[in-house]
Amino acid sequence: MNLLKETSHLIKDNIRDYGMYIALVAIMITFNVMTSGTFMSSRNISNLLDASGYIAVLAVGMTLVIVIRHIDLSVGYVAGFLGAIAAILLMQQGLSVWLVIPIILVLGIVIGLMNGFLIAQLGIPAFVASLAGMLIFRGALLQVTEGTGTIIVQDDIFNAIGNGYLPAIKYFYNRHVLTLIIGAVGVVLYIFSELKNRHDKSKYNFDVISMPIFLIKLVFVSAIIAYITWILAGYNGISWTLVIVLLVTMVYHFITNKTVLGRQVYAVGSNPEAAHLSGINVKNVTYMVMGSMSMLAALSGILYTSRLQSATTTAGMLFELDAIAAAYVGGVSSAGGVGKVTGAIIGAIVMASLTNGMNLLGVGISYQYMIRGGVLAGAVIFDVITRKRGK
């Protein structure tokens, strides 16, 4: 029964990558049973994904920062501060949302480059540099919101980012049709790319996984995509937040896996010395990664402000810790060079699922903190142990 053997092999070899998914599925099923179905209901899944959006994008950036052996504690208040700036530009300066968003993202990049300067140029440890940044931007946030306090945003387009959904076109047995279409397209694209991939590989005659396994994989993944879109279609369909998170994920996944820049990031993380000797400009890579981090912080700020339809004076508090936790649950390693963007997203969803599920069950806030702490520790222990054994 070498089919089984192959499977068990695949799993053993990739336990670190699969572990996270298995954990997520386990958590989801558990909660679903305990809440007798509510957890996996269309609306809850939809809410859950939206609620994790602004942390997920941070986690993506943080993963790369940790991959190159740094850390960024300032992201939280950077997000809060830029969110407030966005609100001010929209409501007090009356700029158009199409102007505001790019401005905010650019501001984010500028802030990131300043961090980069401290870290790459002056060689300040990232931890302290960003700790200082954290204080500074907390002050800045208070400063800009001082006069007004909470700033409500009355811009439908802007608020749609955090609360709106793709139009349904029409409903079909009150399922959101556009969502179903997107799901279908997704499945087709996935199958197509897998086939092409396999075809290329065999064209170059590399060895590929056996046909049955391949088919099982195809069916399984397609099923999941279909199931999720089907669920979402049952409520309001795909939210703009989800669209943005998916875009960010895809872009970063592509960059890290398919582009030279991506290679260089992992090279720097895995062995800075060797990277330098291989002609990689370590400083530039650092600038890039820090820049992207703060740009995503800006995006996170936009998502958050839009979600609350207002910029509050404490926005951003402790975002950084949630993001870092998500990244580590997602399997990034502070030893550098190891960590996937997709992992970060899963990590963020795991943490969000915990909070959401425990809220559904009415678990007290104090237990929620402890459980989240326990899960974080557990995830990292699992990671470290499997990595040791892997060698």
Q: Binding residue for other proteins (CB under 8 A) from 179, 236, 241, 353?
A: 236
390 binds its own copies (CB under 8 A): no
Q: Which of residues 314-353 bind other proteins (CB under 8 A)?
A: 314-315, 317, 335, 337-338
Q: CB under 5 to 8 A by kind: which of other proteins, its own copies, none does 261 bind?
A: other proteins
Please, what is the minimum distance in Å from the beta carbon of residue 73 to its own copies?
Answer: 8
Query: Which residue in 4, 7, 23, 12 sits closest to 330, CA to CA?
Result: 23
> Could you tell me which residues come within 8 angstroms of residue 182 by beta carbon, excluding any fewer than 6 positions away?
166, 229, 238
Q: Which of residues 246-275 bind other proteins (CB under 8 A)?
A: 258-264, 266-267, 270-271, 273-275
Q: Binding residue for its own copies (CB under 8 A) from 132, 166, 168, 218?
A: 132
Stretch that binds its own copies, among 34-42, 154-162, 224-232, 373-381 (CB under 8 A): 373-381
Beta bridge partners of 151: 311
CA-based radius of gyration for the chain? 22
304 binds other proteins (CB under 8 A): yes
**φ, ψ (nearest 5 deg) of residue 54:** -70, -20
Stretch that binds its own copies, among 95-103, 180-188, 203-211, 382-390 (CB under 8 A): 382-390
C-alpha dihedral sign at 343, 351, 288, 272: negative
Please, what is the minimum distance in Å from the beta carbon of residue 296 to other proteins?
Answer: 17
C-alpha–C-alpha distance, residues 21 and 15, integer Å: 10
Fill in the per-residue mask, 13 to 52: x = in contact with its own copies (CB under 8 A), - = not in contact. Answer: ----------------------------------------
Please, what is the minimum distance in Å from the beta carbon of residue 269 to other proteins?
Answer: 8
Q: CB under 5 to 8 A by kind: which of other proteins, its own copies, none does 304 bind?
A: other proteins
Q: CB under 5 to 8 A by kind: which of other proteins, its own copies, none does 78 bind?
A: none
Closer CB to other proteins, 222 or 281, in the complex = 281
Please, what is the minimum distance in Å from the beta carbon of residue 25 to other proteins?
Answer: 19
Please, what is the minimum distance in Å from the beta carbon of residue 366 to its own copies?
Answer: 4
Burial of 292 (C-beta count, 10 Å sphere; 0-12/13-18/19+): buried
- Give yes or no for a contact between 76 and 317, defined as CB atoms under 8 angstroms apart: yes
- Give yes or no for a contact between 35 and 361, defined as CB atoms under 8 angstroms apart: yes
- Give yes or no for a contact between 333 and 388, defined as CB atoms under 8 angstroms apart: no
Closer CB to its own copies, 159 or 333, in the complex = 333
Q: CB under 5 to 8 A by kind: which of other proteins, its own copies, none does 384 bind?
A: its own copies
Query: Which residue in 375, 367, 325, 313 sits closest to 62, CA to CA?
Result: 325
- Give yes or no for a contact between 116 and 337, defined as CB atoms under 8 angstroms apart: no
Stretch that binds its own copies, among 171-179, 235-243, 276-284, 361-369 (CB under 8 A): 361-369
C-alpha dihedral sign at 141, 146, 147, 150: positive
Measure CA 154 to chain center.
27
175 binds its own copies (CB under 8 A): no
Please, what is the minimum distance in Å from the beta carbon of residue 309 to its own copies?
Answer: 24
Determine how many CB atoms are found less than 10 A away from the CB of residue 170: 8
- Give yes or no for a contact between 148 and 85, defined as CB atoms under 8 angstroms apart: no
First to last CA, the chain: 28
Residues in touch with its own copies (CB under 8 A): 71, 118, 122-125, 127-129, 131-136, 138-143, 146, 321, 324-325, 328, 333-335, 364-374, 376-377, 380-381, 384-385, 388
